[in-house]
Each structure stands twice: as structure tokens, then as C-alpha cells.
Structure 1
Amino acid sequence: MKTNTSVNLAAIPSQPSAVEQSPLQLGSRLVPAKIGRTNGTSVTVWIQCPTWCTEDHVDEPVRDVEDLAHYSATAGVSVYSFTNAGAVHELFAGIQSDPTASDARLRGAHISIEDRGGNDYAQLTPEMAEHLADELIGFASELRHLARIAQQANEVTKGRAA
């Protein structure tokens, strides 16, 4: 027995291609991301990821696609003391972006400065980061000046003790 299974193709709405739906933005690439509650129920999807992002979105899965965020490698500075073991102060800076944040400034690429404990974050626009960099250059210059004064003072003290 033969049945007629013809389909009216005109009744099926046409689907735009993936390229038509979301063209790849300049400065991004397609990468896999793991989404789901557990490894057993998670799925791998392809997302646009900024070229500066170093996050492994498969190795660091998130529960919901809205939880995806992008992070660059970080730069850091540590301050050690001759009276304490380990670093006393540490600051780290990197680029971040949270594509689904309610604050548009957090959706865009911005610089995040965090302290050693990772509890306090300062979110900076690129302009704010440039201003901070200028201040840190000035601070570094003043720190070098203080080091030279301390070195000279120690040499004078050593000369008196001899």
C-alpha cells in the first residue's frame, strides 16, 4: 500500500541562514561554549567571542547562556615587604565584557581592576584606564625618587658608622 506523503513546501516559512541572522562582528570569532546545569545535560553552542577573550567557554561552563562573560588575560603588580612574608598588596587589571548585563557600560569592553582578594572591583572605561595609567606613571616616578633619597640617606648613615 502506497500513501501520498507530499508536503506543501510553500506552507513552511523560509529560514534565514545563520549568516543572515547574526553576522560575525569585527574583532570576534566563533567559539564553542558549554551551557547547562550539569555535564550530563549541558549542550555545546557556538558564540561570538571577542578576540581578546582568553576564557575557555567549554572548560568553564555556565548554567545559562545569559551567564556567559568574557575575560582577557590579566596584568598584575605585587608589593612585598621585608617585614612580611608574601605580597602585602596586589592589583590585577584585565578586560571584561558581560554581554547580557543591564548596564550598557558592562556590556561593552571595559577594564576591571581588582585587589588581591578579588572582593573589590573597579570598572573603568578606556578613558578612565588611560587616566589611571598616567597617574601610575607619575606614582612610579615619585617612588623612584623616594628610593633614591632613601638610598642616599643609607649611604650617609653608613659613612658615619665607619
Structure 2
Amino acid sequence: MSTTVQPPADQPAPLTDRHIVPAVVDGQTVYLECPTWCTIDHVRDSQKFLVDVWHSGAFADLEAPRRNGTPSLLAYARLGLDSFSEDDDMRRPFIFVEDGSSGEDSYMDAEHAEQFADNLVAFARNIRAMASAMRGVTA
């Protein structure tokens, strides 16, 4: 037996680019709306409760090269949506950013994400200026 499950009627975020996909919840196949950017296989990533079904886009990684070694992952970000969450904020699309080690994370709306991106651009500009200055220094 399968069932089509809809997010709550008061879903605050429009999901204009979506499709209906199968998901396994408590061993049962259900069909739910899934954003086209979601990369989760909701059948393989089965959940015990519907409220635990969430959507995630591809990850964007921020890595720093090292002089003698492999790059270090400084942070990663992804687009997310928890359609069935009891938390209204999680039922709206968000960008999730975490450093991957400290447990510190940020859930951002579009305005915050754009501000964060502006901060990254300024940070990159400063790093380029440091690299430029470093090239003129002899040891």
C-alpha cells in the first residue's frame, strides 16, 4: 500500500520546482513532493517518522590548500528544506553552513546567505591582497 503525503497546508515556502517521489517511512512506501534540487534518495534514506524526512541539495565545500598535505575542509554548505518539521523556520528553504568540526552551524534565509556570500568575497579579496604582499617578501 502506498500513500501520497502533502506538506502541511500552511507550508510557508512555495515549492515551484518539485516532483512527486517515493519515500520509505516506517517500512511503507509513500509519495511526497520533493524539490528538484534535492539529491536525497528518499527510498534508500528511509525514515521511521514522516517528520524526519528532509531535503538536501548538493554540498558546496570550502577547502584550503596546505603547504605539505591534502586540502583542509573549512566549511560546507547545502540548500535544505524540512517540509514536515514541527519548526516553521525549517519548513522554509534554508542554506545550512557548518565548519564540519566544531558543531557550530548556521541556518540562513536568502538574505543572510547573500550577506554571507558578500563576506566570502571580501575575505577572498583580503586573501589575494595577502598573497600579493607575500610575493614581494623575501625570507
Distance 1:89 1:67 in 2: 27
Letter in 2 for 1:73: A
Structure 1 or 2: more strand by fraction? 2
Q: TM-score, normalised by structure 1?
A: 0.71
- Which deviations, in whole Å up to 9, do the C-alpha atoms of 1:127-157 show, x marking residues without a partner? 0000110111111111101001001113xx4
Q: Write out aligned runs for 1:114-129 (5 A).
A: 114-117=98-101, 119-129=103-113
Which residue of the partner structure matches residue 32 of structure 2?
47
Which residue of the partner structure matches residue 35 of structure 1?
25
SS at 1:153 equivalent: coil
- Which deviations, in whole Å up to 9, do the C-alpha atoms of 1:16-39 show, x marking residues without a partner? xx8xxx9xx532100000111xxx
Letter in 2 for 1:45: V
The alpha carbon displacement at 1:103 in A equals 2.6
SS at 2:137 equivalent: helix
Q: TM-score, normalised by structure 2?
A: 0.82
Q: Which runs of 5+ in 1 are unaligned?
A: 1-17, 37-41, 158-162
Q: For 1:75, which of 53, 60, 66 is the aligned residue? A: 60
Which residue of the partner structure matches residue 160 of structure 1?
none
Query: Number of paired residues?
Result: 127
Distance 1:98 1:31 in 2: 15
Structure 1 or 2: more helix by fraction? 1
The alpha carbon displacement at 1:118 in A equals 7.4
The alpha carbon displacement at 1:51 in A equals 1.2
Q: Which runs of 5+ in 2 are unaligned?
A: 9-14
Q: For 1:106, which of 66, 90, 112 is the aligned residue? A: 90
Which residue of the partner structure matches residue 49 of structure 2?
64
1:135 matched to 2:132? The reply is no
